[in-house]
Structure 1
Amino acid sequence: MVRYAEPGAVEWVESGGGPLIAVPETVLPFWAGADGDETASDYDRACEIEDHVGLLPVGDSAALVFGDEPASTSYLADHNTFVRWCAADSEDELLAGVPAALATAEWEQEVRWDVPGTVVLFDAAWPGHDSTRADHVRVALPPGPYAVRAAQVQPGPETWLGLVQLRRLPG
């Protein structure tokens, strides 16, 4: 697999060309990825998400699909944000642009995501039970409802990134 994000300050997850997905650990066994005998696999369903983010039912929960493009993605807990590396000369340059990007982002409409706890970010083609055998990041989230919003931002002349921010809702 070609690596676009070099190892550095944060852990990046990449895909083989399709969407990335964040699946709650409690329902990982129900995500079949590209496997299965169905007419449309879970991976096919994830590929149908045309927006920057979307939700797909998985077991008794939902997975967050990162649509649009297969950009290297990491989670920055201090910003409650998944950052997607679209263009930058270095990881340092990309990460330095995050605060400005968050301050100037023109956010798309939010979706509500009910999270039962920790989620695993990985390539949607992988079955959930194999997700930890490939690039993946575990994101410890307190259980509860979240507002999820996305934006594409250019914080510098040669730096483009995607943002997927989580905001905990009361309840």
Structure 2
Amino acid sequence: MVRYADPGALEWVESGGGPLIAVPETVLPFWAGADGEETASDYDRACEVDGVVGLLPVGDSAALVLGDEPASTAYLPEHGAFVRWCAANSEDELLSGVPAALATADWENEVRWEVPGAVVLFDSAWPGSETGRTDCLKVPLQPGSYAVRAANVQPGPETWLGLVQLRRLG
């Protein structure tokens, strides 16, 4: 059994201050980030997402914006969830609270996300074509529809985390 805090067992993605975004790998070249010649860049559109999660059109698909705050984020495939590090004394402490947090979370309204396959999580300020030069995480998702729900949870007195759970729809 792999423990989350084992070296290399879990990758965290950080932002320079704006939202993180999960863009389907097939449409990465269409995400311009903070670059672009239009008055509102893709990054500006991501910053305008109101709430913990939201969807933005990218190419012929949609990207999932992880809004609210620019917390370090990892993906836990066994829970089908992004976990966002808001406050904790250690990675072990944060991640040990995930199962209870999933069970007791007060979830916000779900959004439906159509995914063509794997997505890449990264700082929304970066162009999709430049993800090789920044922190990013490839998340291998099966093509299809997903219900996405989010919550902020306090599983311990000094531990706060955000959850964004993806549930594949039949």
CA distance in 2, matches of 1:66, 1:19: 6
1:8 Cα offset (Å): 5.8
Q: Is the counterpart of residue 43 in structure 1 residue 43 in structure 2?
A: yes
Q: What amino acid maps onto 2:81 in structure 1?
A: T
* 1:153 alignment counterpart: 153
Cα deviations across residues 49-107 of structure 1 (Å, max 9, x unaligned)?
Answer: 12000000000000000000000000000000000000000000001000010010000
In structure 2, what is the equivalent of residue 34 of structure 1? 34
Which residue of structure 2 aligns with residue 82 of structure 1?
82
Alignment RMSD (CA, Å): 0.8
1:1-171 equivalences in 2 (<5 Å): 9-170=9-170
In 2: Cα distance, 1:132 partner to 1:50 partner: 28
Count of residues in correspondence between the two structures? 164
- Taking the aligned partners of 2:43 and 2:131, their CA distance within structure 1 comes to 13
In the superposition, the TM-score normalised over structure 2's length comes to 0.95
- C-alpha distance in 2, partners of 1:94/1:133? 28
Q: Which runs of no fewer than 5 residues in structure 1 stay unpaired?
A: 1-6
Tell me the residue number matched to 2:3: none
SS state at 2:49 partner: coil
In structure 1, distance between residues paired with 2:133 and 2:116: 23
TM-score (structure 1 length as normaliser): 0.94
Task: Report percent identity of matched pairs.
Answer: 80
Secondary structure at the aligned position of 1:79 is classed as coil
Q: Which residue of 2 aligns with 1:4?
A: none
What amino acid is the match of 1:169?
L
Q: Distance in 2 between matches of 1:132 and 1:117?
A: 19
Give the counterpart letter for 2:160 in structure 1.
W
User: How much has 1:132 moved relative to structure 2?
Assistant: 2.2
- Structure 2: where are the runs of 5+ without partners? 1-6
Aligned residue number for residue 4 of structure 2: none
For the 8 Å contact 1:31–1:58, the answer to whether it is kept is yes
CA distance in 1, matches of 2:9, 2:157: 22
